[in-house]
Structure 1
């Protein structure tokens, strides 16, 4: 059985790293540093994939009948992951807007 707390902390750390990189990318775009912003978004995508893969591992284990105990830490990890996924979409759109404003 997968250690739920260890996986939760992996999700929290990876999603948190992704969130920080995306916010840095937004700051770069605000300053007109679009290539740097793009690089940060790509790094964030990698961290977000790591968090998502950890979550998927838990889902796969549960689908095999290996249920884990309820954990408030896991709930917290899910919050981090969902916020990072939402941020990816919104910040990506904001970067496009900054680029369009720069072009005008």
Structure 2
């Protein structure tokens, strides 16, 4: 595996993991009634997801140019990690909204 591809794969894993962690911290903040912090954590999560997408786009661009990355467990894991993080972040937003509605009552 080329070093550039490995960097993109690891960037995907790292940034997707950061997004998921930030989304979990947003839920914890909302659970404690700190919706300002929850919003900040979602902003951080979104920034990490954007960075992860940049890595993914780099891999897709390389493949479109005929430089397909070697299919490896790391590549598969990176894609799985990204999709899980996106789904988790979306679900975390719903959980925070529920906490906000509870707080309003």
**For the residues of structure 1 that align with 2:39 and 2:104, how far apart are their CA atoms?**
17
Q: Tell me which residue corresponds to 1:67.
A: 68
1:82 is aligned to 83
Structure 2: runs of 5+ lacking an equivalent? none
Q: Which residue of 2 aligns with 1:12?
A: 13
Identify the residue that residue 23 of structure 1 maps to in structure 2.
24
Deviation beyond 3 Å, 4+ runs, structure 1? none
SS of the residue corresponding to residue 3 of structure 1 reads helix
What stretches of structure 1 of length at least 5 have no aligned partner? Answer: none
Query: How far did 1:77 drift?
Result: 0.8
TM-score, normalising length: structure 1: 0.93
